[in-house]
Amino acid sequence: MTPKFKALLLKARHQVYTLLSGHNLSRLHGEGYDFAELREYQVGDDIRKINWTITAKLGKPYIKELHANRELSIAVATFIDGGVYCQESNDKQKLMTETAAILGYAAQHNSDLFTGICYTASNIFATPPTKQLFDIERFCEKIYRFEALHTDIPYQSAIDDLFKRIHKPSLLFILHDFLEPVDLSVLAQRHEVIAVIIRHPQEESPQKQGEVHLHDPQKAQTFDTYIGNKSITRYLSRRKANDAKMIAHFSQYDIRYVKIFTNEQPIEKLLQLFR
């Protein structure tokens, strides 16, 4: 464990224990004792949940939902290839590691089961459902240490594998930059999915740089180009179209999302999400 990685873990753990305590990470409903909400009966609902008093008053069958009185299953899935390598400082991969650590420590602090799954071009690393800090930190170390440059993974194949791999309905965090279309609809049918968008500010709003020598971090290709106002305008148009399509997809399948940049503190963005 390198000193920089250890410092990252210590920062994440301190933030969880001082700032995240008492925050509920999920909106899942289930069998329990605390009232959640009343809603109209739908075909397929358990008739034993019908609130007959409200049904008699309103003339329509209503279901009484209860907050889940059980431990949550928290799963964090990361997709790491050359796309996360941005500038020599590699801040996107560090941010992904810190975010995964915060979520892992939060699960452990709340006594919830945690599963970490890291997809790379060479293999899939997965922890067993755990409450042990050792497994959480080992998962984070895999994210931090992986040599992502010049690697590429088929994202949709990874999504399909993830659906087969996690059987228990879970609070599932997907950590990715979402700069290309990814279909999460299958996962949303079984899990409560939260998309955590990890980006560098230059990917959101690039600056004019003139003539540059670029290196494709996924395909190991290099080329000379000119980054001026026209090329930036074309890029922004495509990026905004991609994001609009992505947000519409999230809305359609009730997927919450948060966007975190490398110059921001992930704990602050996650706190906004959990409130």
Look at strands 171-176 and 113-119 and give their pairing. Answer: unpaired
Tens digits of per-residue pLDDT, 40-65? 877 767 777 787 777 887 888 887 76
Mean pLDDT for the chain?
84
Q: For residue 46, what are its two tokens?
A: 């358990």
What letters, b where the CB count within 10 A reaches 16 and e where it falls short, cover 213-245? Answer: eeeebbeeeeeeeebeeeeeeeeeeebeeeeee
pLDDT at site 125 = 95
Tens digits of per-residue pLDDT, 185-223? 999 999 999 999 999 998 888 777 767 666 666 666 676
Do 154 and 180 contact (CB within 8 A), yes or no? Answer: no
Task: Please state the pTM of the whole predicted model.
Answer: 0.80
Domain ranges of the chain: 3-23+72-274, 35-66
3-23+72-274, what's its fold? Rossmann fold (3.40.50)
pLDDT at site 28 = 43
